[in-house]
């Protein structure tokens, strides 16, 4: 569309049709209405995904901690937020293919389509909406990240970890292809199964004897790499009793697939009984 | 003798037949040279270089490492020498300048099919050669993919040993990454882009041949690694796990080092061509969007691949010379490797995606008979992606514990990249908007790409977010996500691009029915495979495992069935390519009625592309008629005045 | 051109198209299946060694259970009298030559819900283990093992030769199993026979109870291979220092 400037004709806002009128004109067009309807329909069809995703995540007993709850909340919100925009794109796709005009055949169509070069309102609206969405996601993510960092005691370094009775410190060692857990507050007992008391902060100091492993408490939503030559800190407060999965999430050699163990979140009494029972097995 | 403005330009004199020794060199001499020199290097190394004993704390080489390394180097050097890659520099040093006849011989003038087997400089020949190499690498990677899915589908026992499984997942990864990187920039970037910008050839024709034959030299290195124990890590080859791998890892490292040189050479060549050789009148605002896409991919490749190359050189040096860049027992850092690797790793994703997006934006105007919607916005999107591509790498390292405080800025930059990518999506759907769809195979591929790209993009948002990534990192969700991006967008985009440019490249039309069956079979299989892989990821299945808990069985069975469907679909598409190439319908010069320059030349394209170099007088994608609905929405001339920006 | 000619041209094109497709798909399937079958056959682990029931019943906390026995040896390297385990390829044969291995097999089958007594004969040397947890006995019937006739709960950290560690945990399909048997080292100055093996090898006997049927893996947790942390080579090859442990119903 070529636009010629007509300098001798001054701009006159009164000549402009009212914006509501323009919107109504636009909405009167069948394609505009169809796209809106299709977007809403596809959006509602996609909506169950938000719950289905959580159902898949919760299959083995998650969420078992505040962190996992935050993670699931994030997944849920992100799904809800991305559904309108996905539905809109899918609606345009589908509509342009089956709702609008179509030709087939070996020869290029004789009739060209309207030369829509750009649409200022559309472009501005899209930029604004997509930036706003991205901004929302970033802000949401930063807040949630701060929250899970706080919940996993990620800002507390190893020498500041309290050694008192109100928390548990676990030194996690990954090696090809077994996890071992040492409890320095409990006579340094060592176990191959991760026992945790419920509702008590747990501090993990994670390291590796050989290659990189990743310490993943699946239903508790904790993941941190176990690096050789370095100790990484994380933590969690489990709030649900049960048997959960601990898997290695970083390829670590032949038996990587078998480098898993169980997490037993138990009541304080059971935990105390277990530590007493293990106490005699102190390693040198 | 050539005469310019009646001034005689002295030309070097021709000694003997045109081409000189290059007349005797072809793929056969390349193979002979490669195998010969590999044997010589191998024998010398095994006889005269002592092998040190390995010990606990060092990365010292094991017996066979040095011999294998020497064989690989001998193969690459000998192959390149046998192909004639060093003839040009040697002649230059000896003062024997290349004559016009030599150059024409090198470009394969009047040589028939044998030019495809030689160190030919013509960009059209190189494009076809790239296409064939891409198909071979895809075939190799695809076979491994089928093996992986077979192993994961057979949940009741192990088909392969875990070590071999680890080797095939890594080799599948890197083979497919290489194939995806070259699939558009190689065949289409080399064959089409110079014609598209109205040039007679690439800026550096001999570098063009060099980049291709380096790639050809690298492929056997990669395949050979599987026979020497393989690289038993993912394609990321993290240290120090890779230090425990058998000699096969050297095949991977040499492949990467050679491939990075090939990519660098190709990038420089493409960028120079695009910068300097656009024809008269092709200003930046008249340059087709695919040219921008290829330029952006080359630019990102040019800065990203050196990181990869260095990481592999250091890794190799740790193994061969017992240095300790990455050995934590001797003060090295495993995080250093991860940083170097992902400094390539993420830009490389856009090296794959931007050309596929660009080719979509190139196709839609032709099949919708509309101008590209917001051409400037598309360029802004590409520029935005390039600008941010180098600032997001550490989102692959959220969970490494490397620098928890760095998660905040990297989450910010990663989520910001959705804005320029959103621009590209807007351009695509804006161009589809109210266009009359000419539903041919290339357009159908575009629809498939946008569908996949949306799913890949949305799932990428979860992964860019640290809290959600804390659950998904290292799981099947990630695998499904990047397959939606790299295969769903990249591979389907390549299918569309190949189908679109097939008539120009081969002179025949890609069989519509067979191609469509292949495309849609692949598409359906793809949704089944990776849709159900998302479920496995949500359930908590880690990636790169060959055995897993029973709760993941169902989603893995479905994935495996889907993967076999993909395999059949891709084979049908391959059959369409083979069949059409041999006996398809002969294409006219411009079967799609496109307005781009590359379709204005006759098919088959003559050696110099254009009889007379074209002059561009209008913007690309000048399709379309005035919008009849415009009058309704903008009734008064005052409205036009406003949109001209006088406000 | 007559109508029938057009039809036959069309028909030939269709048939040709079909044949090309069919041949391509068939060739693709053949390549994948061929590679899969070839590698799967090549990668098969060694033949299984089965625990033999000896007809006696033993009292355990789970009640009276049948008893079965199994014997394994660990050699520091192969020799004329002890051939090395089979390897998938010539490359591996070369790479692993001179490395320690379990004999006669690493594919182990034991009966479910039984008491198993495993006897290990250890011919290799050893040293310091880097995780002391694996110098202790875990998962045996009474928390002990018998070392050269003495009952012990574990070894000193610096006298371990190898370990036999079965590890796999609760899944929906099978119950957890964790068994760790530290095998003591032979002293460097021990008297050796003509093949270089100690004349008086270390003997360890351990008794444990199996649950329901399941498939487990085991490996050695005392690094004794080559390359980084001595955890490569035999440590990551089934048939040498790692294998499968199947509880058969």
Say what the ipTM of the complex is. 0.91
DSSP string, B466-517: HHHHHHHTTBHHHHHHHHIIIIIIIIHHHHHHHHHHHHHHHSBPPPHHHHHH
Nearest CA in chain A to C244: A255
Chains within contact range of chain C (3+ C-beta pairs < 8 Å) = A, B
Confidence of residue B633 (pLDDT cuts 50, 70, 90): low
Q: In this model, does residue B308 exceed pLDDT 90? A: yes
Hey, what are B647's tokens? 């406000």
Counting residues of chain C whose pLDDT is more than 70, the rounded percentage is 95
Q: CB within 8 A of B427, min separation 6: which ones?
A: B361, B372, B373, B374, B375, B377, B378, B381
Counting residues of chain A whose pLDDT is more than 70, the rounded percentage is 92
Predicted pLDDT of residue A282: 39
Provide, as residue numbers in chain B, all residues whose Cβ is less than 8 Å from the Cβ of A31: 434
Q: In this model, does residue B601 exceed pLDDT 80? A: yes
For C167, which of A178, A210, A254 is closest by C-beta distance?
A178
Q: What is the pLDDT of residues B17-42, one digit of tens each?
A: 888 888 889 999 999 999 999 999 99
For B511, which of C17, C36, C236 is closest by C-beta distance?
C17
Provide, as residue numbers in chain A, all residues whose Cβ is less than 8 Å from the Cβ of C130: 175, 209
Q: In this model, does residue A116 exceed pLDDT 90? A: no
Q: How many angstroms separate the CA of residue C114 from the nearest CA in chain B?
A: 23
Q: Structural domain of residue C211, as residue ranges?
A: 46-248
Q: What is the pLDDT of residues A213-269, one digit of tens each?
A: 999 999 999 999 999 988 999 999 999 999 999 999 999 999 999 998 989 999 999
The residue out of B105, B131, B165 marking a domain boundary is B105
Query: Mean per-residue pLDDT for B517-536?
Result: 96
Q: In this model, does residue A8 exceed pLDDT 60? A: no
Query: Mean per-residue pLDDT for C180-190?
Result: 90
Residue ranges per structural domain of chain A: 21-100+121-151, 158-279
Q: Structural domain of residue B88, as residue ranges?
A: 20-105
Q: What is the pLDDT of residues C134-159, one digit of tens each?
A: 999 999 988 899 999 899 999 999 99
Cα–Cα distance between A107 and A105 in angstroms, integer?
6
Provide, as residue numbers in chain B, all residues whose Cβ is less than 8 Å from the Cβ of C236: 163, 232, 244
Provide, as residue numbers in chain C, all residues whose Cβ is less than 8 Å from the Cβ of A193: 169, 176, 178
Provide the mean pLDDT of chain B: 89
Q: Which of these ranges, A1-15, B69-83, B544-558, B590-604, has the smallest mean pLDDT?
A: A1-15
Provide the mean pLDDT of chain C: 87
Provide, as residue numbers in chain A, all residues whose Cβ is less than 8 Å from the Cβ of C132: 190, 283-284
Q: Give, in degrees to the nearest 5, the angle at Cα B90 between B88 and B91.
A: 65
Predicted pLDDT of residue B436: 86
Mutation for A interface: C134, C159, C167, C246, most A CBs within 10 A: C167
Mutation for B interface: A3, A11, A47, A115, most B CBs within 10 A: A115
Predicted pLDDT of residue B631: 56
Provide, as residue numbers in chain A, all residues whose Cβ is less than 8 Å from the Cβ of C131: 173, 175, 180, 209
B624: in domain: no
Q: CB within 8 A of A187, min separation 6: which ones?
A: A275, A279, A282
Is residue C82 within 8 A of residue C103, CB to CB? The reply is: yes
Provide the mean pLDDT of chain A: 86
Q: In this model, does residue B646 exceed pLDDT 60? A: no
Chains within contact range of chain B (3+ C-beta pairs < 8 Å) = A, C
Query: Which bin fits C242, alpha (ψ -120 to 50), beta or left (φ > 0)?
Result: beta
Q: What is the pLDDT of residues B102-161, one digit of tens each?
A: 888 888 888 888 899 999 999 999 999 999 999 999 999 999 999 999 999 998 888 888
B10: in domain: no
Q: What is the pLDDT of residues B316-347, one digit of tens each?
A: 998 888 888 998 888 889 999 999 999 998 99
Higher per-residue confidence, A132 vs C90:
A132
Predicted pLDDT of residue B61: 64
Query: Mean per-residue pLDDT for B595-607?
Result: 90
Distance of CA B586 to the CA centre of its chain: 29
Same domain, C80 and C192: yes
Hey, what are B108's tokens? 């394969």
Predicted pLDDT of residue B140: 95
Same domain, B165 and B55: no
B646: in domain: no
Predicted pLDDT of residue B60: 57
CATH value at residue C58:
2.60.40
B456: in domain: yes
Same domain, B462 and B347: yes
Q: In this model, does residue A188 exceed pLDDT 70? A: yes
Beta-carbon separation of B549 and C172 below 8 A: yes
Predicted pLDDT of residue B272: 96
Same domain, C99 and C129: yes
Q: In this model, does residue B636 exceed pLDDT 50? A: no
Residue B615 CB burial class (10 angstroms; 0-12, 13-18, ≥19): exposed
Same domain, B261 and B164: yes
Look at residues C191, C194, C238, C241 and name the one whose alpha carbon lies nearest to residue C220.
Answer: C241
Provide, as residue numbers in chain A, all residues whose Cβ is less than 8 Å from the Cβ of C143: 281
Nearest CA in chain A to C144: A281
Same domain, C18 and C118: no
Predicted pLDDT of residue B2: 56
Cα–Cα distance between A72 and C225 in angstroms, integer?
43
Q: Which residues pair with B475 in a beta bridge?
A: B542
CATH value at residue B197:
1.20.210.10
For A258, which of C156, C217, C231 is closest by C-beta distance?
C217
Predicted pLDDT of residue B54: 47
Higher per-residue confidence, C167 vs C205:
C205
CB atoms within 10 A of CB B505: 23
Confidence of residue B58 (pLDDT cuts 50, 70, 90): low
Query: Which bin fits C47, alpha (ψ -120 to 50), beta or left (φ > 0)?
Result: beta
Predicted pLDDT of residue B52: 54
Q: What is the pLDDT of residues B488-501, one digit of tens each?
A: 999 999 999 999 99
Query: Which bin fits A267, alpha (ψ -120 to 50), beta or left (φ > 0)?
Result: beta
User: May I ask the CATH architecture of the domain A158-279?
Assistant: Sandwich (2.60)
For C25, which of B59, B164, B568 is closest by C-beta distance?
B568
Predicted pLDDT of residue B56: 44
Predicted pLDDT of residue C116: 93
Give the number of domains in chain B.
2
Same domain, B228 and B100: no
Confidence of residue A14 (pLDDT cuts 50, 70, 90): low
Is residue C36 within 8 A of residue B147, CB to CB? The reply is: yes
Hey, what are B522's tokens? 């692949």
Hey, what are B596's tokens? 């781009």
Q: CB within 8 A of B503, min separation 6: which ones?
A: B509, B510, B587, B588, B591, B592, B603
Predicted pLDDT of residue A248: 93
Q: Which of these ranges, A46-55, A116-125, C149-158, has the smallest mean pLDDT?
A: A116-125
Residues 408-447 of B with CB under 8 A from A: 408, 411-412, 415-416, 418-419, 422-423, 425-426, 429-430, 432-440, 447
B227: in domain: yes
Cα–Cα distance between A231 and B512 in angstroms, integer?
59
Predicted pLDDT of residue A75: 94
Mutation for A interface: C106, C158, C215, C231, most A CBs within 10 A: C231
Give the number of domains in chain C.
2
Provide, as residue numbers in chain C, all residues whose Cβ is less than 8 Å from the Cβ of A281: 136, 143, 153
Q: How many angstroms separate the CA of residue A210 from the nearest CA in chain C?
A: 6
Predicted pLDDT of residue B470: 93
pTM here is: 0.92
Q: Is A51 on the interface with B (CB under 8 A)?
A: no
Beta-carbon separation of C227 and B62 below 8 A: yes
Q: In this model, does residue C15 exceed pLDDT 80? A: yes
């Amino acid at each position: 569309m070529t636009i010629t400037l007509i300098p001798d004709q001054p701009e006159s806002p009164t000549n402009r049709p009212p914006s509501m009128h323009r919107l109504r004109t636009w909405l009167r067009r069948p394609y505009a209405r169809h796209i809106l309807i299709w977007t809403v329909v596809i959006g509602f069809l996609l909506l169950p995904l938000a719950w289905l995703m959580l159902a898949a995540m919760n299959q083995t007993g998650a969420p078992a901690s505040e962190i996992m709850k935050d993670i699931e909340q994030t997944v849920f919100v992100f799904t809800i937020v991305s559904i309108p925009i996905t539905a809109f794109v899918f609606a345009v796709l589908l509509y342009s293919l089956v709702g609008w005009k179509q030709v087939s055949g070996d020869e290029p169509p004789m009739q060209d389509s309207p030369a829509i070069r750009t649409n200022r309102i559309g472009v501005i609206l899209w930029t604004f909406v997509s930036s706003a969405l991205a901004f929302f996601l970033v802000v949401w993510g930063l807040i949630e990240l701060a929250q899970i960092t706080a919940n996993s005691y990620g800002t507390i370094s190893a020498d500041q970890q309290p050694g008192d009775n109100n928390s548990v410190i676990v030194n996690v060692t990954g090696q090809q292809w077994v996890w071992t857990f040492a409890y320095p507050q409990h006579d340094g007992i060592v176990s191959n199964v991760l026992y945790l008391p419920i509702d008590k902060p747990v501090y993990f100091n994670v390291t590796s004897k050989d290659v990189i492993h990743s310490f993943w408490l699946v239903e508790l939503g904790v993941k941190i790499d176990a690096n050789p030559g370095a100790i990484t800190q994380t933590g969690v407060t489990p709030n649900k009793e049960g048997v959960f999965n601990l898997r290695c999430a970083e390829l670590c050699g032949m038996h990587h697939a078998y480098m898993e163990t169980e997490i037993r979140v138990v009541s304080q009494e059971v935990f105390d009984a277990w530590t007493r029972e293990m106490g005699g097995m102190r390693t040198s | 003798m050539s005469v310019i403005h009646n001034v005689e330009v002295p030309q070097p004199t021709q000694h003997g037949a045109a081409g000189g020794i290059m007349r005797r060199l072809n793929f056969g001499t390349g193979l002979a040279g490669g195998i010969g020199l590999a044997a010589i290097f191998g024998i010398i190394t095994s006889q005269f270089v002592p092998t040190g004993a390995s010990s606990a704390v060092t990365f010292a080489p094991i017996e066979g490492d040095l011999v294998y390394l020497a064989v690989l180097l001998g193969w690459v050097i000998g192959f390149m020498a046998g192909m004639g890659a060093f003839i040009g520099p040697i002649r230059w040093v000896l003062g024997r300048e290349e004559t016009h006849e030599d150059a024409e011989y090198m470009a394969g003038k009047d040589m028939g099919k044998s030019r495809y087997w030689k160190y030919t400089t013509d960009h059209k020949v190189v494009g076809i050669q790239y296409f064939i190499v891409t198909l071979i690498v895809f075939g190799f990677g695809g076979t491994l993919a089928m093996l992986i899915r077979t192993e994961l589908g057979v949940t009741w026992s192990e088909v392969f040993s875990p070590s071999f499984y680890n080797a095939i997942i890594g080799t599948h990864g890197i083979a497919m990454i290489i194939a995806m990187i070259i699939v558009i920039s190689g065949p289409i970037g080399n064959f089409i882009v110079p014609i598209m910008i109205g040039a007679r050839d690439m800026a550096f024709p001999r570098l063009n041949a060099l980049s291709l034959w380096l790639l050809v030299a690298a492929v056997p290195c990669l395949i050979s690694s599987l026979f020497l124990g393989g690289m038993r890590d993912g394609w990321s080859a993290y240290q120090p796990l890779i230090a425990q791998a058998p000699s096969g890892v050297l095949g991977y490292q040499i492949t990467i080092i050679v491939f990075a040189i090939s990519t660098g050479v190709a990038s420089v060549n493409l960028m120079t061509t695009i910068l300097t050789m656009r024809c008269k009148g092709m200003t930046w605002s008249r340059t087709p969007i695919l040219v921008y896409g290829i330029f952006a991919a080359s630019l990102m490749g040019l800065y990203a691949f050196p990181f990869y190359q260095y990481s592999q050189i250091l890794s190799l040096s740790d193994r061969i010379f017992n240095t300790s860049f990455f050995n934590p027992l001797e003060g090295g850092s495993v995080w250093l490797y991860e940083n170097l690797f992902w400094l390539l790793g993420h830009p490389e994703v856009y090296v794959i995606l931007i050309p596929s997006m660009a080719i979509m934006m190139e196709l839609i105007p032709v099949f919708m008979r509309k101008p590209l919607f917001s051409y400037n916005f598309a360029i802004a999107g590409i520029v935005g992606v390039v600008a941010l591509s180098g600032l997001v790498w550490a989102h692959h390292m959220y969970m490494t514990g490397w620098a928890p405080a760095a998660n905040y800025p990297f989450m910010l930059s990663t989520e910001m990249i959705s804005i320029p990518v959103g621009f590209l999506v807007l351009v695509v759907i804006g161009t589809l908007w109210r266009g009359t769809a000419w539903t041919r195979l290339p357009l159908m591929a575009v629809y498939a790409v946008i569908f996949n790209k949306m799913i890949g993009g949305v799932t990428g948002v979860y992964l860019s977010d640290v809290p959600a990534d804390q659950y998904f990192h290292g799981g099947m969700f990630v695998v499904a996500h990047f397959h939606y991006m790299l295969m769903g967008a990249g591979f389907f985009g390549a299918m569309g691009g190949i189908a679109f440019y097939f008539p120009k490249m081969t002179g025949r039309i890609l069989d519509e029915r067979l191609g469509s069956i292949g495309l849609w079979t692949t598409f359906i299989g793809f949704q089944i495979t990776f849709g159900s892989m998302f479920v496995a990821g949500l359930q908590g299945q880690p990636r790169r495992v060959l055995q897993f808990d029973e709760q993941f069985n169902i989603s893995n069975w479905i994935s495996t069935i889907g993967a076999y469907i993909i395999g059949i679909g891709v084979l049908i598409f391959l059959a369409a390519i083979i069949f059409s190439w041999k006996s398809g319908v002969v294409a006219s010069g411009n079967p799609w009625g496109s307005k781009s320059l590359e379709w204005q030349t006759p098919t088959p394209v003559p050696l110099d592309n254009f009889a007379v170099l074209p002059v561009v007088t209008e913007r690309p994608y000048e399709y379309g008629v005035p919008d009849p609905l415009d009058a309704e929405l903008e009734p008064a001339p005052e409205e036009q005045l406003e949109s001209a920006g006088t406000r | 051109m007559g109508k029938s000619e057009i039809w036959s041209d069309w028909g030939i094109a269709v048939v040709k198209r079909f044949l090309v497709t069919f041949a391509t798909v068939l060739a693709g399937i053949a390549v994948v299946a061929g590679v899969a079958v070839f590698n799967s056959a090549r990668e098969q682990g060694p033949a299984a060694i089965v625990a033999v029931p000896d007809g006696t019943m033993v009292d355990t906390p789970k009640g009276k259970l049948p008893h079965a026995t199994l014997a394994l040896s660990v050699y520091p390297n192969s020799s004329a009298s002890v051939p090395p385990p089979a390897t998938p390829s010539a490359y591996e044969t070369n790479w692993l030559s001179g490395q320690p291995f379990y004999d006669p097999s690493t594919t182990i089958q034991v009966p479910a819900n039984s008491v198993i007594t495993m006897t290990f004969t250890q011919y290799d040397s050893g040293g310091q283990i880097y995780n002391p947890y694996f110098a202790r006995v875990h998962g045996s019937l009474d928390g002990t093992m018998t070392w050269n006739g003495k009952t012990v709960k574990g070894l000193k950290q610096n006298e371990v030769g190898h370990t036999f560690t079965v590890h796999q945990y609760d899944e929906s399909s099978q119950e957890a199993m964790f068994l760790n048997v530290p095998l003591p080292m032979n002293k460097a100055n021990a008297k050796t026979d003509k093949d270089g093996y100690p004349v008086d090898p270390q003997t360890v006997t351990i008794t444990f109870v199996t649950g329901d049927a399941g498939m487990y893996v085991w490996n050695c947790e005392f690094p004794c291979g080559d390359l980084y942390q001595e955890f490569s080579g035999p440590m990551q090859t089934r048939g040498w220092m790692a294998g499968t442990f199947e509880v058969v119903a």
